[in-house]
Amino acid sequence: MFRSSRYCRILYIVDQAIASLTTRFEQYQEYENIFGFLFTSDKLKSYDDDSLKSCCSLLEAALKNNDKSDIDADELYLELKVLLIIPVTVESVERSFSKLKLLKSYLRSTMSQERLNGLALIAIENDILESVNYEMLIDNFATKNAKRMALFKN
């Protein structure tokens, strides 16, 4: 008798665990059906345009309450398409840190932090700096003060 009641308790616990796991699995399947296309970037990339639009519409419908929805399916579709088109690159950031490392190692002991920051900015934004018209910049600076204008005319 002792063995059979213990055996029944174990079966009851196992049955409860199986029922709980089944419920959780069913809930996960429901979430997968609604949100699954957003789980990984690889999965998102695998959808064609029509399938992605359909998934966005299903998500909008799932989040709708009394004809009000938290998202717009068309806007989400467009944002996801933009997200998939924009290439992710860190090249400019890596180049910036590389330039900063060179500057710091060469000039670290002889300059202030403010000057180092200025030189790093110049090195990083070199393409903008090359397009600056220095003569016009100097003339503009000189016209701000009458004394400076007299100095530059001499």
Annotate the chain with DSSP letters as a single string: -HHHHHHHHHHHHHHHHHHHHHHHHHHHHHHHHHHGGGS-HHHHHT--HHHHHHHHHHHHHHTEETTEESS-HHHHHHHHHHHHHSPP--HHHHHHHHHHHHHHHHHGGGS-HHHHHHHHHHHHTHHHHTT--HHHHHHHHHTT-HHHHHHHH-
- Tens of pLDDT, residue by residue over 90-116, are 566 667 667 767 666 665 656 677 777
Q: Are residues 97 and 80 in the same domain?
A: no
Give the domain extent around 116. Answer: 91-153
Q: Are residues 97 and 144 in the same domain?
A: yes
Percent of the chain with pLDDT over 90: 6
Q: Are residues 36 and 71 in the same domain?
A: yes
Q: Are residues 13 and 53 in the same domain?
A: yes
Q: Are residues 21 and 69 in the same domain?
A: yes
The reported pLDDT for the residue numbered 19 is 92
- Tens of pLDDT, residue by residue over 12-35, are 888 999 999 999 999 888 888 888
**Could you say which of 52, 85, 118 is where a domain stops?**
85
**Could you say which of 67, 85, 103 is where a domain stops?**
85
**Could you say which of 32, 55, 85 is where a domain stops?**
85
Q: Are residues 68 and 11 in the same domain?
A: yes
